[in-house]
Structure 1
Amino acid sequence: MEVVIGLLAALVLFFAAGYFIRKNIYREVDRLEARKIEIMNRSLADEMSRVKELKMTGQAEELFEKWRQEWDEIITAQLPEVEELLFDAEDHADKYRFKKSREVLVHIERMLDAADQNIEQIIEEIYELVTSEERNSSEIEDVKEKFKKAKKTLLAHSHTFGSAHAKLEAELYEVYEELKRFEAETDAGNYLAARDILIKQNEILIDLGEKIEAIPAMLSDCQTGIPNQLAEIRDGYKEMSEQGYVLDHIQIQSETERISDTLVIFQEKIRELDLEGISESLQEIHDSIETMYDLLEKEVHANHYVLTETAKTEGALHELVAAKLVSKEETDTVKKSYHLSEEDTSRLRSIDKQVAALQKRFYHIQDRMANEKIAYSLLKEELTELERQTAEVKAEHAEYREMLHALRKEERAAREQLTEARRLLNDSARLISKSNVPGLPAQYTDLLREAQRTIVHVSEKLDEIPLDMVAVNILLEDAVAASAKVHEQTEDMIEQVYYVEKIIQYGNRFRSRNDNLSKELNEAEKLFRHYEYESSLKKAATAIETVEPGSFEKIGMLVEEDLEELKNK
């Protein structure tokens, strides 16, 4: 029983699978049938009608017949065969020969693809034929116009093309013959062949037009322009050589011969209408000629420069040598009075060596000018370099001279500062003498002595031989500061003395009535007699302000008048 059920289940599965496979095959058959009908319904009538508008002779007639036969083959043979194969595919599917059915369907697909491609090919060829006729009709006039223009130019300016004229006319005649063949092919209905002819002749005419435009200028360059320039360069070279110029390094002879040989080759190539690369090569030749002109001109300028600048350079060297001797004497003089560092003395030795080397180089240049054949441009380079180095040494020497002058200038400045410091001390002494100061505080006396001592040290240092300005400047800085401080404190001390005296005089009127004020003023007088002027002033000013506020300011106005009178004495 179980076996029977299993067999029944297998049969059910088999028929179910077969059903679905046949259904898919039928669906594919329907798709291919629809595609076949679509191909049958495609009509080439419109495309064919465009061909019929042409002259139905020659190539047009042959192609039309070929396309008609190919279309008939598709309709009467290929598509009916597809129809039979579709029936076969269904029949195989009904008999469960699914593999065979699928093979037939694949074959049908390929046949329909081939038919489609054939139809597309026919349409493309029809389009090519029809458009060829249309483009030929529209483009032939432009080609003829190019032909007429080229012919007219060759006739009107034949002399400008030289030996290339015959070759140009020959090629133009070939174009003329080909255009006649174009007309013949067109009349014969061979539109595609006519199209090929027209395209090729148009390209030839464009090329000929470019050559016709370029050749006159090229020939003019090769036959007249460049040869004239070469002759001019040779004449100039010969003339300059006779005048004594050394021009071997320019190689005029070999270069002009090379260019002349090249021009002969170019003229032969032009005659054969082989113009490739000639325009660029002619530009290179022009550049080479321009370079030769520049080199000859450079020698002329160099000659003028050497003749005029040699004397100037010689004069500059003589001046430098003379100035160096003066500096050497100055250095010997300065050494007697000043201390020079090793760096300073070595600078003069270096300048001396450099000047000797410059002289040697200049004599060498003079010797070469007199005894050797050498290009002026090379002499100019050497002379220019010598001038540059001479200017550098001159600048270095000027710096050295400035250093020597700076030493003496520094000494004068130091002596002037020392004199100013002494003046300040003398002025301080004068003020003390005129002001009748009772005595000098010990602190002030110490400061005065220190200032006098530093001034003496500076003076002694300035009298030393050789003079060491570094040490002088260090001591001088202390002396200037000390004398300024003495003068400042002198003015402060005298002002304090005047204040104390005026305050005590002003306060005497209140002593009898104010015991406390009398006591404070007595203590201020005591401090005054011991030369403690600053403390005395503070005590006296405080005491008088307690009795009569604002009195210190009144007394200050009197003190200022007295001090101004003192300074004017």
Structure 2
Amino acid sequence: MLNVIVGIIVIVVIIYIAIVLYQKTLLKQGKAMEAELNRLQKLDLPEQLTKVKKLVLTGDSLTRLETAERDYEQVRQSQFPQIAQDLTAAEQAGKGLNFLKTRDDIDNAHAELESAAKTLDQVQATLVNLQKMEQKHQQAVVELQTNYQKLRTTLLNDNSAYGPALDALEQQLSAIEAQFAEFTTLTQQGDHQKAEKLLVDLKDATTKLEQQMRAIPELYQLNHVQFVNQLMEIKSSYAKAKAEGFCFANDEFPATLQELHEAVQANLENIKHLDLDVVRDQDQVISEQINALYDQLEAEMKARLYVDKHAPVIAQFIQHAHRQNQALGAELEKLSHNYSLEHEEQATATGLGDQIDLINQKYQDDQQQITDQRAVYSQIANDLKQFQQDLTKIEEKQRALNASIADFSAEEQRAHQVLDDLTTELHAIRRRIDNLNLPGIPADYAEYFDVVANEVQHLKATMNKVKISMDDVQKQLTQIQHDRDTLQTKTNDLIDQAALAEQVIQYANRYAATNPAVASAIQTAQHQFDDDYQYEASLATIANALDQAEPGAFNRIEENYYKNKAQAN
């Protein structure tokens, strides 16, 4: 039981301490709000109200001032006392344990204080705004009046720079000055809210007028002077060019000049009505078309200079190409009696001649146009450039064709010399075989030798024809030289195999009496050598048997043979 009582006492003490601490917190908040209330009460709003009330205000501006004054008085006379009362009540309640009453009084004071602070901020902002607006409008009156006077002076002194736009500009300036007079009246009357709205329109209108006055002199000069002078210059240059024999492809100069003149006049009308965006767009179009006419005139004049300079050069080039082709044709005709022309050389030369004739015909047509004063020089200049390219390609083909036939005679002489050399080589090969005094020649070797000999005879027959095909001669020479090389290899193999077979048989005889296998091999190898003329097989038979009787003997004999052969050569 005692423990329960002690527990209850502890809880009561804790609650009491909590209430005391909470009360202190509330009272601390109350002190802070009391300080804020004092700050708000000391604001210099009465002085600001007095100062603003001295201004001459009417309309919405006066309404705003009156509203601000009522709001301030409401705060001063009602909310401030109520806040003070709530804070006093909270302080009294805080001396006891009625923390609920203290909390309610603090909350009420806090809400009233926030409302009062917000209202006073709005009042102060309104007063500042009215003062600034009044100063702004007074200053604007002076600045705008000065600015309009400058604009008026500019229009008066430089009226010629604005051309047909002068009347519209003066009308705009008069309208702006009328708005300015209204703005000045509103400012003097103190209706700054209406004056502010009008000031925005005034500034926009003034800025627009200033921009137009800056832009129009250049636009007017461009259309009234520059474009007109350029069109007159182009018209004069065109007439002079026509008199000097110039012609123009798709000649639309007269119509284009008329259209441009009308466009310039229309643009002056646009300037008169201050449609400056339209003027700028049209200026771009007109400028581009004028430049195109200038470019066309300049192109034809440059083209004539090019034609005058290069036409004689092309004429000489055509004559040169024609002479070259005639000489090439004559040479081909001469060669055709002795050689077969198998790569359409004559057809190629004829085709090149046809191309030269076509170029010459076109060149003559262009020259006739110049004589008849019908020439479009830019087109003729392009023709001359194309002629240059085509004639250069023709000349390259002529050189290549001439090079391909220039060595026919020399190739024939070289072919005769190679043929003689081949005949001599075949005789030398025959002598090498005969000098061996072999019992006979293998059939396959004899057959291959006859093939090469027949090829040589066939080439001789080809070379002795009235009209030689050098392609056929070169093909036969290539084949014969290849077969000759193979025959040389076969000949060397035949000589080496026969000589080695004789030496190995002779060496193996030392084993004939004691080694039946060697004796039998000697008989077989000798038969292959003497009767069948199979010297390679004979060598293989006796070499295998000797290696069985005396390993390494054949290798020694073979190495010694090739060593002596190399020394002999």
Task: Report the TM-score range of the alignment, normalised by the length of the smaller protein.
Answer: 0.5 to 0.7
Aligned ranges 1:25-424 → 2 under 5 Å: 57-58=58-59, 152=150, 155=153, 159=158, 161-163=161-163, 164=165, 167-186=168-187, 188=189, 193-230=194-231, 232-233=233-234, 236-237=237-238, 240=241, 244-246=245-247, 255-256=256-257, 258-340=259-341, 345-398=346-399, 400-401=401-402, 404=405, 418=419, 421-422=422-423, 424=425
Match of 1:485 in 2: 486
Unpaired runs of at least 5, structure 1? 1-49, 66-128
Q: Relative to 1, partners in 2 of residues 1:309 and 1:169: Cα closer, same or farther, differing over 3 Å?
A: same
Q: Per the alignment, in what secondary structure is the counterpart of residue 276 of structure 1?
A: helix
What's the CA shift for 1:287? 1.7
- Further displaced range: 307-316 or 175-184: 175-184
Query: How far, CA to CA, are the matches of 2:552 and 2:140 in structure 1?
Result: 120
Match of 2:536 in 1: 534
Aligned residue identity for 2:206: L
Q: Relative to 1, partners in 2 of residues 1:153 and 1:184: Cα closer, same or farther, differing over 3 Å?
A: closer
What's the CA shift for 1:242? 5.9
What's the CA shift for 1:487? 1.4
Aligned residue identity for 1:360: Q
Q: Relative to 1, partners in 2 of residues 1:283 and 1:515: Cα closer, same or farther, differing over 3 Å?
A: same
What's the CA shift for 1:356? 2.6
Query: How far, CA to CA, are the matches of 2:365 and 2:347 in structure 1?
Result: 27
Q: Relative to 1, partners in 2 of residues 1:224 and 1:549: Cα closer, same or farther, differing over 3 Å?
A: same
What's the CA shift for 1:419? 5.7
Match of 1:441 in 2: 442
Match of 1:108 in 2: none
Query: How far, CA to CA, are the matches of 2:136 and 2:420 in structure 1?
Result: 110
Residues 91-147 of structure 1: CA deviation (Å, up to 9, x unaligned): xxxxxxxxxxxxxxxxxxxxxxxxxxxxxxxxxxxxxx9999899779867898688
Checking the alignment, whether the CA contact within 8 Å between 1:502 and 1:559 is kept in structure 2 is no
Query: How far, CA to CA, are the matches of 1:472 and 1:210 in structure 2?
Result: 93
Query: How far, CA to CA, are the matches of 1:130 and 1:454 in structure 2?
Result: 127
Aligned residue identity for 2:547: E
Checking the alignment, whether the CA contact within 8 Å between 1:451 and 1:479 is kept in structure 2 is yes
Aligned residue identity for 2:298: E
Equivalent position to 2:553, from 551, 554, 559? 551
Match of 1:120 in 2: none
Checking the alignment, whether the CA contact within 8 Å between 2:303 and 2:377 is kept in structure 1 is yes
Match of 2:562 in 1: 560
Q: Relative to 1, partners in 2 of residues 1:378 and 1:139: Cα closer, same or farther, differing over 3 Å?
A: farther
Q: Per the alignment, in what secondary structure is the counterpart of residue 277 of structure 2?
A: coil
Checking the alignment, whether the CA contact within 8 Å between 1:421 and 1:484 is kept in structure 2 is no
What's the CA shift for 1:549? 1.6
Match of 1:68 in 2: none
What's the CA shift for 1:467? 3.5
Aligned residue identity for 1:542: N
Q: Per the alignment, in what secondary structure is the counterpart of residue 551 of structure 2?
A: coil
Q: Relative to 1, partners in 2 of residues 1:145 and 1:414: Cα closer, same or farther, differing over 3 Å?
A: farther
What's the CA shift for 1:500? 1.8
Query: How far, CA to CA, are the matches of 1:226 and 1:443 in structure 2?
Result: 101
Residues 450-492 of structure 1: CA deviation (Å, up to 9, x unaligned): 1111221233234334434565566555534432322111011
- Further displaced range: 313-322 or 205-214: 205-214
Q: Per the alignment, in what secondary structure is the counterpart of residue 277 of structure 1?
A: helix
What's the CA shift for 1:414? 6.1
Query: How far, CA to CA, are the matches of 2:304 and 2:389 in structure 1?
Result: 19
What's the CA shift for 1:248? 8.9
Residues 35-78 of structure 1: CA deviation (Å, up to 9, x unaligned): xxxxxxxxxxxxxxx9x99987446779999xxxxxxxxxxxxx
What's the CA shift for 1:350? 3.2
Match of 1:91 in 2: none
Query: How far, CA to CA, are the matches of 1:557 and 1:196 in structure 2?
Result: 124
Cα-Cα RMSD: 4.3
Query: How far, CA to CA, are the matches of 1:56 and 1:480 in structure 2?
Result: 126
Aligned residue identity for 1:209: E
What's the CA shift for 1:257? 5.4
Q: Relative to 1, partners in 2 of residues 1:222 and 1:287: Cα closer, same or farther, differing over 3 Å?
A: same
Checking the alignment, whether the CA contact within 8 Å between 1:424 and 1:487 is kept in structure 2 is no
Q: Relative to 1, partners in 2 of residues 1:447 and 1:224: Cα closer, same or farther, differing over 3 Å?
A: same
Aligned residue identity for 2:544: T
Q: Relative to 1, partners in 2 of residues 1:443 and 1:272: Cα closer, same or farther, differing over 3 Å?
A: closer
- Further displaced range: 176-185 or 448-457: 176-185
Query: How far, CA to CA, are the matches of 1:209 and 1:224 in structure 2?
Result: 23
Q: Relative to 1, partners in 2 of residues 1:436 and 1:409: Cα closer, same or farther, differing over 3 Å?
A: same
Query: How far, CA to CA, are the matches of 1:520 and 1:152 in structure 2?
Result: 138
Q: Relative to 1, partners in 2 of residues 1:359 and 1:494: Cα closer, same or farther, differing over 3 Å?
A: same
Checking the alignment, whether the CA contact within 8 Å between 2:512 and 2:519 is kept in structure 1 is yes
Checking the alignment, whether the CA contact within 8 Å between 1:246 and 1:373 is kept in structure 2 is yes
What's the CA shift for 1:389? 4.1
Aligned residue identity for 2:492: E
TM-score, normalized by length of structure 2? 0.66
